[in-house]
Amino acid sequence: MATLSLDSPLIQKVGNRDHVLIIADDIVFEGAMVGDNAAGYGQPLVAGNRFRGHAIAKCDNTGGAAGAKYIQVLTGRYRLEVSLVGLITDVGQPVYASDDAVYTFAGAGNSYIGVITRYVSATRMEIECRPGEYDEFGNNSNRVLKSADYTTLLADSGKIIYVDTDAKIISLVAIATGLSGYEITIANGAGFGVAGIVVDPNSSEVISGGCALGPGAGGKKFTNTKETAQRNDYIKLAGNATGWNITGLRGTWAIEG
């Protein structure tokens, strides 16, 4: 690659405004969250879209072709106060959107928006919005929510399973079925002190420990302790020849005696 042989002036962006080309025949209203339709065009956010920012002016492209107009959006990191039911312990927790106007703590199936930076009231939160970024689990849309006992399947490898109900058990597929290298993340989808979630290895299989947590014995359960459980506490497991290794962990987990 050749070095420069003449001046090449930089085009510097100043401020936190940007422009996103709109999809065909649609309207984005001021204040709406804007999502990427996977073809590069902006639209009123649909759950699962990558978040592009908030519209700062109405963009009416009724009858227009894709890209006929620009949506003006806030971009970079910025803070907004929004309607969201939460707890004072939710400061620092990730926030998602289920459409262009609804904020939620549910990560399964929704779009990552940013994090809580201030508790305002039981129904209002301050969010630091982070367009174009991902939460701590990265660009992994393979996420599901469980509110009842569930036994994992071979097809669940790579998934993040959120559990939002107390004392529900996630039973792990036998490693002979799951195979060495099988990975799964089980996360607490409830608020502080609401749900203790249980991970149960198959029969004589062992969760070998890791991330400063000791190993269990054959078939012994690991529980995210309800009294101290925080939203998004998690355990990440990888299969080995005889059971499971803990490769990621947050929160207080108790080993069955």
pLDDT tens-digit series, residues 163-174 = 999 999 999 999
* pLDDT above 70 for 1: no
The pTM of the whole model exceeds 0.85: yes
Mean pLDDT across the chain, nearest whole number?
A: 94
CB burial of residue 170 (10 Å; 0-12, 13-18, 19+)? buried
Question: Do both 106 and 190 map to the same domain?
Answer: no
Q: What is the per-residue DSSP string for 167-218?
A: T-EEEPPPHHHH-TT-EEEEEE-S-TTT--EEEE--TT-EE--BTTBPP--T
* Count of the separate structural domains present in the chain: 3
pLDDT per position as a tens digit, 89-116: 999 999 999 999 999 999 999 999 999 9
**21 and 92 within one domain:** no
Identify the domain containing residue 103 by its residue range.
78-129
Specify whether 52 is located in the same domain as 67.
Answer: yes
Residues 29 and 109 in one domain: no
User: With the C-alpha atoms ordered 215, 219, 220, 223, is the resulting torsion angle positive or negative?
Assistant: positive
